[in-house]
Amino acid sequence: MKLSEIRQEARNDLKSAWVKTAIISFIYLVIFFVISFIQTKFQNNDVVYIAISIISILLTIPLAGGILFTIMKVKNKEEIKVFDFITIGFKNFARFWKISLRMLYKILPQFIILIIFAVLMVAGYINLVISGFFLALAYGGVVFTSNIQTFLGMFAIGFIGYIVIIFTLLPKFLSFALSYLISFDNNELPSKECVAKSTELMKGKRWKLFCLYLSFIGWAFILAFIYAVFVQTSNLIILPTIILYIGTAFLLPYIVMSFIVFYKKILSSSQENTVESK
């Protein structure tokens, strides 16, 4: 299972539907851009700001799942429509969230520790800013008082702990990665079983999936470079964002389809091994 072969198969599968899936991805990005834009307009209204934040969180997983299922349909040679991902997302709203909450349950202790380290890191950073540490550092006049040392310690412990927990969580997230696709193929399977089956299928495959995702980093750097160039040269603030969204909209289906191809190959290999063992 070479990464180059997976990406090649993904490109072949997308050949006739790449533009349509790119439009779908672009609409998805625009939806959350609009939500974020509206949110900035209510920064001084805590109730509305929090309400919009909750709506954004509630929509993220179902709509992302809708895109995943839509591209899965492309892989299966089924017809798709541009707004299918929204219909699929809302139709499977509870289903997507049950799988997501099941994953969260599996990593709950580490997730709580992650939040604690994040709070510690942010609290340390904010106190360093308030105390004028960074300003003094810029002018070479830092005095390491007991308060500054405490805030630096909070920030350092929080930052290091946060990174360590992220690295311990990464293998688990990779283990759970196939859960939604398993749910697509087995729509009656409970969320618990989807996550368990994903964990079983991903044994010995996590590094391969990580490398697959990592293989797209070059495209991400190219998009970031193009965005930076347009930011520096364009007088229209919105133009660099549009260029970035268009580039991301074409890249996203490629990444998702490659992931689906990866899943199909693992599933096929697992079924072959099961037949052979019998």
pLDDT in tens, 108-147: 999 999 999 999 999 999 988 888 877 777 777 667 788 8
Name, in order, each residue with C-beta under 8 angstroms of 159's C-beta and a sequence gap of 6 or more: 117, 121
**Which pLDDT does position 276 carry in this prediction?**
62
pTM score over 0.85: yes
Residues ≥6 apart with Cβ < 8 Å to 251:
216, 219, 220, 223
CA 6 to CA 11: how far, in whole Å?
A: 9
pLDDT attached to residue 139: 72
pLDDT one-digit tens code per residue, 184-220: 999 889 999 999 999 999 999 999 999 999 999 999 9
Q: Which residues contact 264 (CB under 8 A, 6 or more apart)?
A: 75
In contact, 11 and 216? CB cutoff 8 Å: no
Up-side HSE of residue 38: CA atoms within 13 Å toward CB? 14
Q: List the structure tokens of 27.
A: 């609409």
Residue 76: CB atoms within 10 Å:
12
Q: pLDDT (tens digit, 0 to 9) for every residue of the chain, 278 residues total?
A: 789 999 999 999 999 899 999 999 999 999 999 998 888 888 888 888 889 989 999 999 999 999 999 999 999 999 999 999 999 999 999 999 999 999 999 999 999 999 999 999 999 999 888 888 777 777 776 677 888 889 899 999 999 999 999 999 999 999 999 999 999 999 889 999 999 999 999 999 999 999 999 999 999 999 989 888 887 777 767 788 888 899 999 999 999 999 999 999 999 888 776 656 65
Contact 158, 117 (CB under 8 A): yes
Cβ neighbors of 18 (< 8 A, separation 6 or more) are 250, 253, 254
**Rg of the chain (C-alpha set):** 22
